Structure 1
C-alpha cells in the first residue's frame, strides 16, 4: 500500500510540474506579444516612453504577489514542516553559496548514492538551461539581422513557440507515466541538439522554424521531466528545499547563459555560437542516460 501511495504521489507531482510548465508556456506566448505591441506603440512616441511599459510590468508583478498571498496556502501538514524559521536561517549559507547549491549541502540525512544522483541531475539541469537560455535570448538578434524581422514578427514567432510548448505539456507531458519520465527527458535533450544546428545554419525561414519547433518540443519535455525527477529526492520536510535549490540552479543558468551567448554571438557570429552550443548540449543527454531511473 505504501508503494502504491508513493507512486500516486509521484504521478501527481509529475502532473503538477507539467501544469507549471503550461503556465510558463502561456507566459511565453503572451509576454512577447505584449512586448511587440509596446514596441509598435513606442514608434509613435517621444521622450520617456519607456516608463509606461516599465510601470505595466511593475503592476503585473504586484498583482502576481497579491494573488499568490491571497489564494495560495501552505499545503504541507504542520507535522511535516521544517522545525522552525531559526533552523532554516542557520542553513542560509548553504542556500546562498553557489558551491553549496551545486552540492545540495542543505539536504541532510539522504543516502550517499542518492545525493550523488541529485547533484548530477542539478548539473544537467544547469548546463541545459545555461545553453538553452543563450539561444532564447539571442534569437531576437538573429531574426533581426539575418531575417529582418520586425518586433511584431518576433512576437508572433515566440507565440508559436509558446503555443507548441503549452499544447505538448497540457496534452502529452502531464500524462507521461512515472516509468517513462527519464526516457522522455532524454528524448527531449536529443531533440535540442539538431534544433541548435538548424537555427545556426538557417538562412531561410523554413530551416529557422524547423529548429524552433524542435526547440519548443524539447523544452516542453525536458524541464517538467527533470523537475519531476528532482522532486523524488529528500524527505517530506526537504521537498521544498530540494526544489528550491533545483530552481535556483536554473535561475543561475538563465542569468549567466544570455551573457555568455551574447558575447559569443557578437564575437564569433551566430553560426559558430549555435553550432558550439549543439556540441555542448551532448553533455546533458549523455550524462542523464547514466543517472539512475527515479525510484518509487
Structure 2
C-alpha cells in the first residue's frame, strides 16, 4: 500500500523517525573505520603485503621523478588519499543512477538493494587479510553507498514543507550522532579485538556488518514507500545515461530538464550555482576531513582511541549545533547561514594547520564542527526545493554525486600537497581557497529567484 498520498503529520513523523534510524545505523557502520585508517595502512606496510608494496614502489618512483625528499611518514597519507578517492569516485558514478532509478521504481526497493550491497562489503572487510581484499571492500562499499541520497529523497517526498525542514534537520542529527559515536566505537572495539588475539579491525568490521543487517530488517519491516504510484516511471527514459554519468551534465543538472515539468530557467541557474557551491565546499572540506587523522597521528602521536575521542568531540558539537541552532534556521535564511559557516572554516583550518598543542587543535576543531553541522543540511534543503515531485531522487542523487566527485579529488589533492609541502602549507592553502564558495554563495544570494 502506498501511504505517500496521505498528508497527515503522523505519516510524516513516522517516516522521519524511520529514516533517522536507518541513516544512523548506516553512518555508525560507515564511521567505524575513520580512526583506524592510519593504523590499517601501517599494518599492511609492516606486514609486507605484496599489493601494498607494489603501490609503494609507484609512490617511490613518483617521489624520485619530482625530486621530493624521502618522508615515509607521509606515504600513508598519500595511500589513504588514493583509497578515499577510489571510494568517492565510485559513489560519483552510482549516486545519480541510484537516485534516478528510485524516481522510477521507488525509494524502498533501491534502499534495500544498496544496504544489502553495503552488508556484503563489510563482510568482505571482516574476512580480509590482504590489502587487495581491503580494496575490494572499499570498491563494493563505494558502489552501494546510496543510502544518504535516498534518505534525503524520502524526506523531500514529504508533502508538508515544515515536515521536510524537520526531516532535513533530523538527517543532520543522524550525521552528528553517527560521527560522534561511530569512530569512538571503532577505536574501542579495535582495542578489544587486539586483546582477544584477532586482527584489530575484525571486530569493528563485524559490528559494521551487524548494523547493516539490522538496517535491512528496519527498511523491510518498517519503511513505507513515499514515492506516489502516479509518479513512478513518469520521468524521461530517453538519453538519461550520459546525463547521469557526464560531469558536465551533472554540474548543469541536465537530467532534471528532461522531465515533463522542468524547473524555470531562473531556478535552474540557482540550482547550478548551489551545486557548484556544494562541490567546492566538499572538495576543500574533505581535504581536512581526510588528512586530520593523519596529522594528529603524526604530529601528536594519537592512538586509535585518541582519534576516536577527537571525532567524539567533533560529533558532540555538531549535535548541539544541529539540535539548537540549525533546526531553527528560518526559510530564506539558509544561504546566509551557509555563508557564515564557511567563513568560520578559514580560521578553523589555520588553527588546526598551525596547532602546536592540543588546546589550539581543539579550538580549531570546534569551529570546524560548527561548519560541518550547518553547510550540508542547509544546502540539501535549498537544493531539495528545486525540482518537481518526480525529480526529487534525481536532484538529490546528482547533488550526492557532485559531493562524491569532490571527495574523490579533494583527499588526493590535499594528501599530495600534504605529502609534498607538509601539513601547515596544506591547511593554509585550503583555508585561503574558501573564498571561492563564498563568492559563489554571494552570487546565489543576489539571485532574483527566491
TM value normalised by structure 1:
0.89
Q: Which moved more, 1:51-60 or 1:11-20?
A: 51-60
Q: Partner of 1:148 in structure 2?
A: 301
Cα separation, partners in 2 of 1:162 and 1:238, compared to 1, 3 Å: same
Q: How many residues align?
A: 287
Report Cα offsets for 1:81-125 as digits up to 9, x if no partner. Answer: 4427xx458523312222221121101122222212111111110
Which segments of 5 or more consecutive residues in structure 2 lack a partner in the other structure?
1-158
Q: Which moved more, 1:57-66 or 1:156-165?
A: 57-66
Q: CA RMSD in A?
A: 2.2
1:202 and 2:351 correspond: no
1:158 and 2:307 correspond: no
Q: Partner of 2:276 in structure 1?
A: 123
Cα separation, partners in 2 of 1:294 and 1:113, compared to 1, 3 Å: closer
Stretches of 4+ aligned residues off by more than 6 angstroms: none
Q: CA deviation at 1:248?
A: 1.7
Cα separation, partners in 2 of 1:50 and 1:156, compared to 1, 3 Å: closer
Q: Which moved more, 1:45-54 or 1:234-243?
A: 45-54
Q: Partner of 1:247 in structure 2?
A: 400
Cα separation, partners in 2 of 1:252 and 1:63, compared to 1, 3 Å: farther
Q: CA deviation at 1:162?
A: 0.5
Q: Partner of 1:74 in structure 2?
A: 225
Q: Partner of 1:256 in structure 2?
A: 409
Determine if contact 1:11/1:178 at 8 Å carries over to the other structure: no
Alignment of 1:89-100 (within 5 A): 91-100=240-249
Determine if contact 2:190/2:202 at 8 Å carries over to the other structure: no
Cα separation, partners in 2 of 1:52 and 1:88, compared to 1, 3 Å: farther
Cα separation, partners in 2 of 1:164 and 1:47, compared to 1, 3 Å: closer
Q: 1:107 aligns with which of 256, 261, 265?
A: 256
Q: Which moved more, 1:286-295 or 1:230-239?
A: 286-295
Report Cα offsets for 1:138-170 as digits up to 9, x if no partner. Answer: 111111211122211111110010011111112
Distance 2:427 2:161 in 1: 36
Which segments of 5 or more consecutive residues in structure 1 lack a partner in the other structure?
1-7
Q: Partner of 1:4 in structure 2?
A: none
Report Cα offsets for 1:228-252 as digits up to 9, x if no partner. Answer: 1101211121122111211221122
Distance 1:220 1:294 in 2: 28
**Structure ranking higher on relative contact order (CA contacts 8 Å, 6+ apart):** 1
Q: Partner of 1:30 in structure 2?
A: 181
Alignment of 1:204-243 (within 5 A): 204-243=357-396
Determine if contact 1:143/1:149 at 8 Å carries over to the other structure: yes
Q: Partner of 1:183 in structure 2?
A: 336
Q: Which moved more, 1:19-28 or 1:285-294?
A: 285-294
Q: Partner of 2:190 in structure 1?
A: 39
Distance 1:213 1:145 in 2: 21
Q: 2:163 aligns with which of 12, 20, 28?
A: 12
Q: 2:323 aligns with which of 170, 173, 195?
A: 170
Q: CA deviation at 1:57?
A: 2.0
TM value normalised by structure 2:
0.60
SS of 2:256's partner is: coil
Cα separation, partners in 2 of 1:287 and 1:52, compared to 1, 3 Å: same
Distance 2:203 2:299 in 1: 30
Distance 2:448 2:360 in 1: 36
Q: CA deviation at 1:181?
A: 1.2
Q: 1:56 aligns with which of 207, 212, 221?
A: 207
